[in-house]
Structure formats: C-alpha cells, structure tokens
Amino acid sequence: MADAVLRFEDREINLPVIEGSENEVGLDISRLAAETGLFTLDRGFGNTAESQSQVSFIDGAAGILRYRGYPIEQLAEHASFLEVAYLLLYGSLPTKSALASFEDSVTRHTLLREDMKKLFEAFPHEAHPMQILASATSALATYYPDALDPRNPEAVDLSMHRLLAKVPTMIAWLYKYRAHQPYMYPRNDLDYSANFLHMVFSIPAEPYTPDPVVAAALNVLLILHADHGQNCSATAVRLVGSGDANLFSSVSAGIHALSGPLHGGANQEVLDMLEEMAAGEGDVSSYIARAKDRNDPFRLMGFGHRIYKNFDPRARIIKQAATDVLAKLRIDDPLLDIAQELEATALSDDYFIERKLYPNVDFYSGIIYRALGFPTDMFTVLFALGRLPGWMAQWKELKEDPKTRIYRPQQVYSGETERAYQPPS
Ligand code: ACO
C-alpha cells in the first residue's frame, strides 16, 4: 500500500502504512516528531497502537476474539487453562509431552515461602483482596530474586512459571487470612482449578473434594479472561516492563490497573448493583434512567466497551455458562433474572442502541463466581488470575521485540508560560 501523506502548513511527511495479518491498517508515525516537530494528541489511546502484537486478535465490530489465531469459543470448550497459558506464552498449542512438562513445572512451584504468611498478616483483615494481591505479587521479587533479569530467557521462564503457580496460592491465602481460617497448602495431585478450589474452600478439619462442575466452570472463566489485546492493565504491564522492571513488578502494576471499576473492578460493581436492585433500592428502569442522565455520574456497570461495538463474545459464553452452572448446582439466584431483565431493557433502549453499548465480560461473570461460592470482593482477583498468562505473554513479547523502546508519551503543555519567582507576600 502507498504511504499516506500528512501536510501541515509548509511541512509534509510520508507516513508508511502498516498492515496487520487480519487486514488492519495503521499509519506509522514513528518519524513524525523527529522530521516535523509535530506529534499527535490521542486521549485514551483510542487511535494509537504502540506495538505490533501477535498474542490476541479482536474484531470489535464482528464480536470476534482469538488467542494466537484460535477462536475463544473453541478454547473455552476444549482446552484447559494451563494449555491456554502455554499457547499465549509460547505461541502454539502444546504437544502432550510439552503440556505435561509445563504442568509439572508449574505444579512444582505452587508453595509459597513460609515467611510470606507474615506479609498477608501485616494487612488489616478488611483490606481489599486486589490491594493485597498487588502487594504480594510485587513482594515476590524480594522472595525470589534469583530470576529477575528480564533479558535472560531462562530466568524469565522460571519467573513466569513461578507466577502462574504462586498467584493461586496467594489468592487462596489472602482469602483464608481475611476469613480467619487456617491456610491450606496446595495439593499437587489436583489440576490447576481443582487445587485452587481446595486451597480456598477446604479446611483442615474435614475432607474436601472439589466439585467437578465448579472446577470446570472455573477453568472456562479463567480461559475467557486470559488475554484481551492492549487493554488498560496489559498496557500498564507493558509500560512498567518497557523500563526494564522485572516481571513481578510489571504484573503487580497490571493488578493495580485492573482493580479500577472501569476495568476489572466492574465485575464486583455489577454484583453490588444487582444486589441493590434485589434489595428493592430501585427497579431496573430507574437504574437505566440514571445511566442515561448526563448529570448523574452513574454508569450501568458491565455495559459498554472501547473495542466491542457488538456483543462481547466472552459475555455470550459466560451468559450461557451462568445459566448452565446454576442449573447443574441447582441454584435459583434471583440476581440472574434481574441481570437478564436489565440486559433486555438496556438492549431495547435507544440510548444504548445508538452508543452500541452491550454487556461486557463482567456483566454475567459475578453471577457464576457467586454460585461457585466466592464473596463479591474476591471477583476481581479471580479476573487477575485469569489474565495472568496474557499479561506475561505481552510482557515477554515486549522484551523479545528488538524494536521496543521505553514508553514515554509526549504531552501538549498547556500550563503557565515563563514567569518570575515572587517571594511570599
Ligand atoms: N452506562 C451508561 N452510559 C455509558 C456506559 C455505561 N456503562 N458506557 C458508555 N456510556 C456512554 C458514555 O456516557 C458516552 O456517552 P456520550 O457519547 O453521550 O458522552 C458513550 O457511551 C461512549 O462512552 P465512553 O466513555 O466514551 O467509552 P469508552 O470507550 O471511553 O469507555 C468503558 C469504555 C470504560 C468500558 C465504559 O463503557 C464504561 O464505563 N462501562 C462501565 C464499566 C465497565 O463495565 N467496565 C468493564 C469494561 S470490560 C473490562 O475492562 C474487562
């Protein structure tokens, strides 16, 4: 494709056209500032790609999501979470023996250093799980400092396997600490999801067998959250990583970014909103009216997405899974009915139709997490567990790309021009 040409006053620059493998077309403005002194202003990066990525592909208009080329629907139906993690980290689906050695490596790292218990106990019992998880992830760099070099592939592999193995244990332990229950050690005879359920829900006084329906549902939820292009938290991971910070620090930044209610924190907010409705604090139409009111900051949580202007394919799968899981567990949750009514009302309302606002991944996920037995304030750490492979795959891609530069955006300075210092009068 021929270059695009940008003309501004007496200056002109050719902008090479970059084509992606799915016919996406971008203009390469890398030489713009150096050659013209101009730069671009792009609030929220809605028009800007910082990098070329091979991890996941999203077509927001068609409602398509693929990890390394594989449709999310197929992976959710057939794969295990660790298989998907391998796919994201190493680029292709594992052979049987590659998967077995990957699972073996991850399983061997599931224990935490004993003295990490003191770290959890330094937090107030009522601390939010996302804050504890982000701090504990950052602290891993102090407990496991032997493999922090971002330019050493063996060290990166070891740190990635450690993170995949230890984040479930950290989430389970912070849950136990907050619940005033004894910590449960990992069981390496169980698969990834079942072991996590064991560490969260078992107690030493009684035998515990993870419910296969619950473990299978958790496996699907983790896969659905595993990667999503250059979202807010993945960009945070990349940004911190671009300064050559270690993997643990970079992922900790991603966890902080995910905690915001406009991002992963929305799954908790959706449930709070549905519970308020169930408690009679307003009917569906009053919430829709508030969401539409420009003078009210309230937004319909779990609705809308920067990229999807059609149904979020993850939401479609989760909606079906929520109905299936509740039926299999024989749970009759009135929140599912309220969610369905809310969705139907919003989708037939001009405000939502005109703005192409559809349910996103967070709209139905909380209903399943609740059915699986998790308290509402644990929902976002479950999202973080699922997103972990995507964050690490993107960080690895960044570190392996010879074109990577430290992230350092421009700014349009609009403050005071030079003025002389005046002593206090
Ligand atoms: N409720 C009501 N109105 C909304 C909503 C919503 N949930 N989402 C967007 N809008 C409206 C905006 O007010 C705006 O209207 P206007 O054009 O009249 O000003 C228009 O739709 C476009 O919205 P933007 O804020 O420009 O869209 P943006 O792409 O910047 O934001 C976001 C996307 C943050 C997801 C937004 O839709 C939102 O706040 N949703 C609720 C929070 C949520 O569910 N977040 C989870 C997202 S998925 C994830 O991160 C895992």
Query: Mean pLDDT in each 10-residue stretch from start to end of the chain (425 residues)?
Result: 92 93 95 92 96 96 96 97 98 98 97 96 97 98 96 97 98 97 96 97 96 94 97 98 98 98 94 91 87 94 92 92 91 92 94 94 92 94 98 98 96 97 96
Residue 66's DSSP bridge partners are: 57, 71
Residue 71's DSSP bridge partners are: 66
Q: Which of 161, 198, 312, 362 is catalytic?
A: 362
Q: Which residue's CA is the nearest one to ligand 1's atom 9?
A: 304
* C-alpha 268 – ligand 1 centre gap (Å): 16
301 touches ligand 1 (CB under 6 Å): yes
The token duo for 242 is 């671009």
338 touches ligand 1 (CB under 6 Å): no
290 touches ligand 1 (CB under 6 Å): no
For residues 157 and 109, is the Cβ–Cβ distance under 8 A? no
Helix %, strand %, coil % for the chain, to 5? 55, 5, 40
Q: Which of 128, 161, 228, 305 is catalytic?
A: 305
The token duo for 400 is 């392996």
297 touches ligand 1 (CB under 6 Å): no
304 touches ligand 1 (CB under 6 Å): yes
pLDDT at 169: 98
31-to-14, 44, 51, 413 alpha-carbon distances in Å:
9, 22, 15, 21
pLDDT at 310: 85
138 touches ligand 1 (CB under 6 Å): no
What letter represents residue 380's amino acid?
Answer: T
* C-alpha 80 – ligand 1 centre gap (Å): 32
* C-alpha 357 – ligand 1 centre gap (Å): 8
* C-alpha 113 – ligand 1 centre gap (Å): 41
pLDDT at 152: 96
Ligand 1 pocket test, pick from 269, 299, 307 with the greatest ligand atom count within 8 Å of Cβ, gives 299
* C-alpha 305 – ligand 1 centre gap (Å): 6
Is the four-CA dihedral 380, 386, 388, 391 of positive or negative sign? Answer: negative
pLDDT at 108: 95
Q: Which residue's CA is the nearest one to ligand 1's atom 20?
A: 355
Q: Which residue's CA is the nearest one to ligand 1's atom 14?
A: 355
309 touches ligand 1 (CB under 6 Å): no
* C-alpha 303 – ligand 1 centre gap (Å): 7
235 touches ligand 1 (CB under 6 Å): no
Q: Is 362 a catalytic residue?
A: yes
Q: Output 196-201 pairs: Cβ under 8 A, ≥24 positions apart.
A: 196/168, 196/171, 196/172, 196/385, 197/372, 199/168, 199/169, 199/172, 199/173, 200/171, 200/172, 200/175, 200/176, 200/374, 201/373
291 touches ligand 1 (CB under 6 Å): yes
Q: Which residue's CA is the nearest one to ligand 1's atom 41?
A: 301
Q: Which residue's CA is the nearest one to ligand 1's atom 44?
A: 302
258 touches ligand 1 (CB under 6 Å): no
353 touches ligand 1 (CB under 6 Å): no
* C-alpha 380 – ligand 1 centre gap (Å): 19
pLDDT at 78: 97
* C-alpha 382 – ligand 1 centre gap (Å): 22
Q: Is 305 a catalytic residue?
A: yes
pLDDT at 280: 82
287-to-90, 273, 305, 341 alpha-carbon distances in Å:
44, 9, 19, 12
